[in-house]
Amino acid sequence: MIRAHTVEQVRAAEAALMATLPEGALMQRAAYGLAHAVLDLLGGGYGRRVLLLVGSGDNGGDALYAGVVLARRGVQVEAWLLSDRVHEGGLAALREAGGRARRPDAPPTGGRFDVVVDGIVGIGGRPPLRADAAAALEALSGVPVVAVDTPSGVDVDTGELAGAHVTADVTVTFGTHKVAHLVDPAARASGAVHLVDIGLDLPAPALEALQPDDVARLLPRPTPDAHKYTRGVVGVRAGSTTYPGAALLSVAGAACGLAGMVRYVGDAAVADRVREAHPEVVGDGRVQAWVIGSGSADTAEAQLAATLDDGVPVVVDADALEHADMVAGRPAVLTPHAGELAGMLGVDRHEVEARPLHFARVAADAYRTTVLLKGRRTLVAEAGRAVRVTTTGTPWLATAGAGDVLGGLVGALLAAGLTPYDAASVGSWLHGAAATSASRGGPVVATEVARAVPGVVAALTS
């Protein structure tokens, strides 16, 4: 499990650890890890040129001491001092090791830099970057950037952006991931994140991301004496004569093999097409979970109402999200994208895209159920729980019908016995992993994602 903590949590843990260590020891640990990450990126040290952008906080101190390690490995190190107050001990040590330091308005020492180290602002900084820092970055456009802890200029606890900020190729963080590493839009600015363990004792996280071992542990598996009913039955009410493909794709996701049976209830003509494509699918009857809404058009409200008397968990998707208040407080998974969530909350889509973590939490509180906010980094929010973020997937997954497959997949996991929180998290992870597997680096369509799920599950459980 990747766990992310807030600035307050990290600072408290750092203070507790520093009380047990010699002065400066924690910064030296961070600097050593940072320096070796830079060396890995460079592929060696001798003769390379590294520029440190140094602000007034501890991140600037980390950068300066990392510069000392780099200089001792044969790297030509220069520091641009972006504040009148920088870490004095780190600056003196860098100069003693042969590094140079100057203000950014002084002439450079000559030659192009191989890497820029962003030590401008610490995790307590607020966006955006100051004008002088933004100008320094602009002058270095095209040079790979390694950010210290988090890219300067992002909001660390929300993952939000507000103006000028660093866009890193690599971020070297210490002790734990921060929210901005995992949540868009700031996650896009973090690049590849490298975690350096500095020995922090941390509380429960604010955010977490499932990894393959976590998904394997949560996956429902048939017992030796299992039969189709004990493995769970998922019902699908989706599609219409206008949008029959939505029914086929929702059923394809539900029929991935994680539940014992799939029932389809809908228009007779659509049901015939479903059974032709999926002969194992049967008709109406008792279920352990429902999937409602994809392609349902003006029948969505009636279809959702028809499921509620069953008292089983329900996945509410697409057209049915307009009626999500009907499942408020019930075991359910709401699966909006940014535009749908904006409509549900009465805000603008751009607001949701700029603040996805905030609005996922708002929706979970408002509807008192589980919310799966789809996006490049899908978020699963439930009141009182750490938000889960999905890090699997490929940009090729942004394709018509992929959300229908996801809804069916989550429904199958619900029917198999997972809680809404776990079903949404595991389903989203499998969906992204299946898309990556099916695409092989190229385009993918929704039906291929559904077909790839069993292979992903097999790899996890073998």
pLDDT given at position 104: 80
Residues forming beta bridges with residue 389, ordered by sequence position: 379
Calpha distance 381→372 (Å, rounded): 7
What tens digit of pLDDT does each residue of 204-237 get? 999 999 999 999 999 999 998 989 999 999 999 9
pLDDT given at position 297: 87
Q: What is the mean pLDDT of residues 26-39?
A: 94
pLDDT given at position 247: 96
Residue indicated by tokens 């996280």: 205
Residue 94: name the closest of 123, 136, 126, 51 by CA: 51
For residues 344 and 350, the answer to whether their CB atoms sit within 8 Å is no
Q: Parallel, antiparallel, or unpaired for β 387-389 and 207-209?
A: parallel
pLDDT given at position 122: 87
Please state which of the ranges 60-74, 118-132, 340-354, 363-377 shows the lowest mean pLDDT. Answer: 118-132
Please state which of the ranges 196-200, 345-349, 418-422 shows the lowest mean pLDDT. Answer: 196-200
CB neighbour list of residue 173: distance below 8 Å, 6 or more residues apart: 149, 150, 181, 193, 194, 195, 196
For residues 409 and 238, the answer to whether their CB atoms sit within 8 Å is no
Calpha distance 157→163 (Å, rounded): 16
Q: What is the pLDDT confidence band of residue 178, given thresholds at 50, 70 and 90?
A: very high
Q: Around Cβ 278, how many Cβ atoms within 10 Å?
A: 16
For residues 360 and 368, the answer to whether their CB atoms sit within 8 Å is no
pLDDT given at position 47: 86
Residue indicated by tokens 């949008």: 243
- In this structure, what token pair is assigned to residue 395? 């940009």
Calpha distance 441→435 (Å, rounded): 10
Burial class (CB in 10 A: 0-12, 13-18, 19+), 38: buried
What tens digit of pLDDT does each residue of 298-318 get? 899 999 999 998 999 999 999
Calpha distance 187→191 (Å, rounded): 7
pLDDT given at position 218: 97
pLDDT given at position 108: 55
- In this structure, what token pair is assigned to residue 215? 């998904």
What tens digit of pLDDT does each residue of 96-127 get? 999 999 888 755 555 689 999 999 998 988 88
What tens digit of pLDDT does each residue of 366-422 get? 999 999 999 999 999 999 999 999 999 999 999 999 999 999 999 999 999 999 999
DSSP code of residue 327: G
For residue 171, how many C-alpha atoms fall within 13 Å in the half-sphere facing its CB? 28
Q: What's the maximum distance between 2 C-alpha atoms anywhere in the chain?
A: 81
Q: What are phi and psi of 86, to 5 degrees?
A: -125, 170
Residue 58: name the closest of 4, 3, 15 by CA: 15
Q: Is the pLDDT of residue 30 over 90?
A: yes
Q: Which fold has domain 2-206?
A: Rossmann fold (3.40.50)
CATH number corresponding to 212-461: 3.40.1190.20
Calpha distance 448→366 (Å, rounded): 35
**pTM, two decimal places:** 0.94
Q: Is the pLDDT of residue 434 over 60?
A: yes
For residues 147 and 123, the answer to whether their CB atoms sit within 8 Å is no
Q: What are the residue ranges spanned by the domains of the chain?
A: 2-206, 212-461
Mean pLDDT of the chain: 95
Please state which of the ranges 134-138, 392-396, 454-458 shows the lowest mean pLDDT. Answer: 134-138
